[in-house]
Chain A
Amino acid sequence: MKENNNRLGWFFTSPYLLYSIVFFLIPLIWSFYLSFTNWDLIAPDFQYIGFDNFVKAIKSPSVHAAFWVTYKFMLVFVPLVSVMALIVAVLVHSLPRYKSLFLVGFFLPYLSSGVVSSLIVQGFLSFNSPVNISLRKIGIHIDWLGTSWSALFIVGLILAWKFTGYYALILTASLESIDQEVYEAAAIDGVTGNQRFWSITLPLLYPGFYTTLILAFGVTFGIFTEVYQLTGGGPNFATNTWQMEIFSQAFKNLQAGYASAVALLAAIATFISIYIIRKLLEMWGARNGWV
């Protein structure tokens, strides 16, 4: 008996199809179209200016900054969050009881709004905060959000705080799927301590680790709230992410045409970077024989 579900299938997928036309395909084409105009988001008429927007974007220092800032955030955020998530996962996994209680606790920061965490950090690092007063007492003064390296570091730290528990959950799930017999067999062969971690746990953790790394790299392309609240992209574009740049060009400077061109460049940069990162991670795994 062969069932013909054609109509039913299309009916059930129709919400997605409708959405993808109205909120994906039309905007996509519109975005291409806008990027070749000098429209300012308000005036009724505008001109086609060919590739001028793209030329201008490629020469713009703030776009250069947005391009590099993503990778700088990766350098801060990805190692920080992977190490922290790994520590939390291994630690929690070794607890015989109350595992889920701890995991759920570590997951709490993921529920916070970027606005709230930015607010807390701003208060915590304000000029007369206990942290800064005690630092000044020993002769250290850092303008945390007004110095390029520290502003980058602070935003990276907030994100790492937020995502650690989430990634630790993923890692714990893959730790729990490791067969205990592997460890017992290794113990008979005399594999212990550090060696045990590096030669057994880490390789078997690779699938979970791969997922968290891909997710973490992806996060760095979408940073907006923390940067918008805390630094506005500054100081001197040191934290000017793609989203921040597009938002300021479109909705602050009202250059919709130009901002669409920047968004296209951002999409291309994101797409290529994620592709390369995936390939590199797969190569890394294959080279070590983990896949």
Chain B
Amino acid sequence: MVGSKNNKRTRLVILYSLASILLLVMVYPYLYMVLNSFADWKQVDKKLIPTSYTLQSYSWLFTGGESGIARPWLGAFFNSVIVSLASTALMMLFAVMVAYALSKLKFRGRDTVNNFILFHMFFPSIILLIPSFLIIQKLGWYDTYWALIIPKGMSLWAIFMYTNFFKAVPTVFIEAAKLDGAKDFQILYRVMIPMSKSITSVIFLFLLMERWTELLWDMIMVQNDNMLTLNVLLSQMFGPYATYPGPLYAGSVLLSLPIIILFIIFGKNFQQGMQVSLK
């Protein structure tokens, strides 16, 4: 008896140690980034864990160091926030609308739309890049927020997720709401969205994260320094400024932090929503 109890405890200790070590290895690159952003410049990329720290990297970001030319970090950060939030809001709104129609409204042509979305989803999107760039130019949107927000305002994946989820919502709830005189937008807002709270936080986080870290599209659509998103600005600094790795790490921290904070805020809902959406 005592032996088996001890065995069980040993097994648990081993399991938790293994999981913790593995987790540490997986999270170490983030740690490396944060530590190096605060590290003395002599130690950046020279030590696995730096020993001497300074705020030089962060002040360099905003003053441009000895070059005196500060890169528009704050502006880029602001652009990223506006663009990501606006695109994500559009993606969420449209996904909910389309999914409601596809799952709960009977209308002629519904199956056709459904099939077309499936076809569209599996279509390799790379082929659309050049003509999309040309359409943006024709619309006069090049180098404006419109180019970064509007074309990125539709997510097929989100439509797909919401459609599947809404199908499981009993029609009784909708009929009850209709008897109370609710219009369809009210049904969406009062019935469907509250019922899909957990999956909504998962979809929101995935969409926001993907929009926040988009490189190719943002790189092609804008040129002006004042229009760059943070991810693109960081990417541009990569080459010629790579002699200053410290500030690059500081920029990386600025880029990573908001998403991680959001993730921690939504963390509880997220795990639950993930389980629901994978079933």
Contacts and interface: CB of A to CB of B under 8 A. Distances in A.
B278 A169 contact: yes
Given A30-B131, A111-B256, A128-B45, A174 B19 contact: no
A88 interface: yes
Interface in A108-159: 108-124, 126, 128-130
A177 B278 CA distance: 11
Interface residue SS majority, chain B: helix
Looking at chain B, what size class is its interface with the partner chain? 35 or more
A45 B94 CA distance: 39
Given A108-B260, A114-B215, A115-B215, A173 B26 contact: no
A116 B252 contact: yes
Contact of A23 (B26, B128, B209): B128
Contacts of A129: 45-46
B213 A221 contact: no
A225 interface: yes
A95 B16 contact: yes
B19 A270 contact: no
A271 B127 CA distance: 12
A48 interface: no
A31 interface: yes
B131 A31 contact: yes
Interface in A68-109: 87-88, 91-92, 94-96, 100, 102-109
B216 interface: yes
A100 B32 CA distance: 24
Interface residues of A, number: 91
B270 interface: yes
Interface residue SS majority, chain A: helix
Contacts of A88: 22
B238 interface: yes
A31 to B, nearest CB: 5
Nearest to B246: A123
Nearest to A259: B130
26 contacts: A3-B106, A8-B107, A8-B184, A9-B101, A9-B110, A12-B184, A15-B98, A23-B132, A24-B120, A24-B123, A28-B127, A30-B135, A102-B19, A103-B271, A108-B26, A110-B209, A112-B213, A113-B212, A119-B33, A124-B29, A124-B45, A129-B46, A130-B46, A251-B220, A263-B126, A270-B126
Interface of A: 3, 5-10, 12-13, 15-17, 19-20, 22-24, 26-28, 30-31, 34, 41, 87-88, 91-92, 94-96, 100, 102-124, 126, 128-130, 161, 164-165, 169-170, 173-174, 176-177, 208, 221-222, 224-225, 228-229, 242-243, 246-247, 250-251, 256, 259-260, 263-264, 266-267, 270-271, 274
